[in-house]
Amino acid sequence: MQYNEEFWDRYANENESRYNEEFSKYLKDLTRSLPGVQSILEIGCGTGIDLRLFPKTFQLHGIDLNEHALEIAKTKLPNVKFQKGNITKLPFEDSSIDFVFTHGLMNYLENDILEKGIAEMFRISKKWIMHCEKYEETEKQIDENHRFRNMGEKWENYKVKFVSDVNLHEDYGEEQTRFTLLKKI
């Protein structure tokens, strides 16, 4: 799928309706429980709804391609370092971010961008990588803009340990959402 600014502007305007406080609490509690997490990056952060509940003690970063979404995010979360960026070329040093995550991004990426993005996530992650994505064992198209993914398969050639790879409880996300937590080794 080519980047469609009109689609993503509309998505940003509707993002408040997607806010799930339970998921945000879960994410905050998870990062607090992991050893050594001080810096956090959300790739495809949109308006920053998943970063809302993090305390200022974390170094928070958000990357997105959509300038409109980033303008909203910067207004709502001035303590987060938001910047325009692409998952295929993340503006961070190797092993510089303790916890790197996506939530609902990987389903929208073309296969070649997905592969480059995974390599970039691995490159910049110091220790932890997480994503929550719509899941099917066998990948299939959902609609013209996104598809179900089996993200576990995408990490097979990387030096990671699967800490968790389970379906996310419906209170925390949409149905058929898979939570994957990886530890870089």
What is the three-state SS of the chain?
CCCCHHHHHHHHHCHHHHCCHHHHHHHHHHHHHCCCCCEEEEECCCCCHHHCCCCCCCEEEEEECCHHHHHHHHHHCCCCEEEECECCECCCCCCCEEEEEEECCHHHCCHHHHHHHHHHHHHHEEEEEEEEEEECCCCEECCCCCEEECHHHHCCCCCEEEEEEEECCCCCCCCCEEEEEEEEC
pLDDT digits over 56-85, tens only? 899 999 999 999 999 999 999 999 999 999
C-alpha 46/C-alpha 43 separation (Å) is 9
Beta carbons of 95 and 66 less than 8 angstroms apart: no
- The confidence score (pLDDT) of residue 64 equals 95
Regarding predicted confidence, which is higher, 12 or 127?
A: 127
Q: What percent of the chain has pLDDT over 70?
A: 94
One-letter amino acid of 142: I
Beta carbons of 62 and 41 less than 8 angstroms apart: yes
pLDDT band at 89 (very low <50, low <70, confident <90, very high): very high
How is residue 25 written in tokens?
Answer: 């609490």
Domains and CATH numbers, the chain: 5-184 (3.40.50.150)
- The confidence score (pLDDT) of residue 145 equals 67
Mean per-residue pLDDT, 82-106 = 95
pLDDT digits over 152-172, tens only? 888 999 999 999 988 877 766
Q: What percent of the chain has pLDDT over 90?
A: 60
